[in-house]
Structure 1
Amino acid sequence: MKKVSAAFDGLKFSEGTLQHAIELAKQSKSLLSGVFLDDFTYHSYKLFDMVGSQGVSKDKMKHLLTADKQTRQKATDHYENECKKAQINYVIHHDKNIAIHELIKESIYSDIVLISADETLSHFEEEPPTGFVKDFLMHVECPVMIIPRTYHKIEKVVLLYDGSIASVFAIKMFNYMMPWMQNLGTEVVTVLDPEKEKHIPQANLIKEFVDCHYPKAIYTVLKGDEKKEIPAYLKKITNNTLVVLGAYQRGAISMYFKASMADLLMEELDIPLFIAHK
């Protein structure tokens, strides 16, 4: 049995994360941990919402706190009801300290964490990739599945391969977590710089490895700048596709100089991403 953790903001609950998490837990016969990030510094209201005619109103503050508590409880009840309906093993965690620290800690004890691409854990709205998600991906201790705004059942898998250890490691972790997806249509996509490369890096070895797990996989080679070619190519594919990539590196310096492919895909596409790094 594996442990699947799904991150939730109880004040802005992600239905897409819930549906993907339940599907993953059912297929893998895993324990699903609903991680409700009830950060004590985060509320749905702003400071001026508490101000009355004579300054900060205790009655308004009490009303707003009660409303947030009820909203969070409603989200927890919905999660629990859906888990019971799906007949899966589940637990509920209410993490009340700083959200990013709590979620990183949860990732240490998880096989995978699912989180919505537009999660902010604040009352501010951001377009993906949000600061919270980017920060989490930089420090997470297990594979992550980034969930799009809308749920679509996964029907195809694209494995991004660039010859790096990280890209191969991501494929390994994906196969470990979701072996039943070997039966789906699978495509290995590589981008070559025409001025530097003529062949897929370690072509014989990667094909030998992939064929062991995805014997019907097809191979697509694109030429040009990977930051332009990959998003453009994936935009032509259905929303029912999951993309696997080893995008984030541990070194903060390398991240400063080189934008992650994951960032680009979250910014331009609304599809699920499976991300793993060493």
Structure 2
Amino acid sequence: MKKFLAVFDGYKMSNSTLNYAIQLSKVVNANLVGVFLDEFIYRNYNVVAVMKTNEDYTEKMKEMDAKDQLKRDEAAQHFQKACGKAGISYSIHRDKSIALQELKHESMFADLIIINEYETFTKYKEELPTRFMKDLLSDVQCPVLLVSNKFKPVDKIVLLYDGAPSSLYAIKMFSYLFGNFQDLPVEVFSVNERKANLRLPDNKLMREFIKRHFPKATYNVATGEAEEQILDYLHNHKENELIVLGAYRRSELSRWFKTSMADTLMRKLDTALFVAHNK
């Protein structure tokens, strides 16, 4: 049985994360772990403001902390009820130390992380990709499924392939985890910068590999600039795709100069992204 982690901020629980996690856990009969990152220094109120506006701020903070705890407890109970209703195997982890460190550590013992791409584990909103997500993806120990705020049941799989080891590794990991998705259409999409060439990189070997894992897959090879072609192609689709790609393989320094494709797709598309990278 595979082990999936559904990651939540108990103060603002993501129902899309919960719904995607339940759908995918059912597909492969996975054990779903609700990971609630209840970081002890993360409060849902402004500590400084409470101290400035209350003479007896110690008692006020105790009251506010109790409300915070209740909200986090209600989120965990909501997860428990939803999993029970769906009839899936589940458990709950309440991690109280530093959120990012806790999740990276748990990722060593998981097959997949499912998380809302907007998560910050702070009171503040950030532009995509958030700092938390960048730090997680750069050093996570298992594949990550990034989901948007709105749940859309997956009805098509798009495998992005550029001939690099990272893209093939992501496709392998997806096939190992979700071989049961065979009833959904699967498409391999690639971009060749040479306009006269509409062949996949390592065409024969790639088609042989895909045939073994996704025997009904179709192929689409475009020409031009990769980012532009991928975005144009995906923007024109009406299906609810799950996009598979390799990412965050470069060093920290090089990412200053070249944006990851995962970052671009997070900003531009409202769809689920399966991200995996080999180191």
TM surpasses 0.5? yes
Q: Distance in 2 between matches of 1:89 and 1:151?
A: 21
* Runs (4+) off by over 4 Å: 52-56, 195-198
Q: Distance in 1 between matches of 2:92 and 2:270?
A: 28
Asked if 1:202 corresponds to 2:214, the answer is no
CA positional deviation for 1:131: 0.9
Q: Distance in 1 between matches of 2:54 and 2:269?
A: 48
CA positional deviation for 1:231: 1.6
Asked if 1:9 corresponds to 2:5, the answer is no
Q: Distance in 2 between matches of 1:34 and 1:196?
A: 49
More displaced, 258-267 or 219-228?
219-228
Match for residue 256 of structure 2? 256
CA positional deviation for 1:198: 5.9
SS of 2:154's partner is coil
SS of 1:125's partner is coil
Q: Distance in 1 between matches of 2:259 and 2:53?
A: 48
Q: Distance in 1 between matches of 2:37 and 2:49?
A: 22
Q: Distance in 1 between matches of 2:250 and 2:105?
A: 17
Number of aligned positions between the proteins:
278
Q: Distance in 1 between matches of 2:72 and 2:65?
A: 11
More displaced, 266-275 or 219-228?
219-228
Q: Distance in 2 between matches of 1:141 and 1:160?
A: 21
Match for residue 145 of structure 1? 145
SS of 1:91's partner is strand
CA positional deviation for 1:49: 3.5
Match for residue 273 of structure 2? 273
1:1-278 correspondence runs (5 A): 1-51=1-51, 53=53, 55=55, 57-194=57-194, 199-238=199-238, 240-249=240-249, 251-278=251-278
Change (3 A) 1:86 1:54: closer
SS of 1:216's partner is coil
- The normalised TM-score by structure 2 is 0.95
Q: Distance in 2 between matches of 1:54 and 1:152?
A: 45
Structure 2, unaligned runs of 5 or more: none
SS of 1:5's partner is strand
SS of 1:93's partner is strand
Q: Do the aligned partners of 2:195 and 2:223 also contact (CA within 8 Å) in 1?
A: no
CA positional deviation for 1:54: 5.4
Q: Do the aligned partners of 1:50 and 1:56 also contact (CA within 8 Å) in 2?
A: no
Q: Do the aligned partners of 2:174 and 2:244 also contact (CA within 8 Å) in 1?
A: yes
Q: Do the aligned partners of 1:239 and 1:270 also contact (CA within 8 Å) in 2?
A: no
Deviations 1:219-273 (A, max 9, x none): 1112221122212211111351100001220522332322100000000111001
Change (3 A) 1:184 1:54: closer
Structure 1, unaligned runs of 5 or more: none
Q: Do the aligned partners of 2:143 and 2:173 also contact (CA within 8 Å) in 1?
A: yes
> What RMSD, in angstroms, separates the aligned Cα atoms of the two structures?
1.6
SS of 1:244's partner is strand
More displaced, 21-30 or 103-112?
21-30
Q: Distance in 2 between matches of 1:88 and 1:199?
A: 42
CA positional deviation for 1:48: 3.8
- The normalised TM-score by structure 1 is 0.95
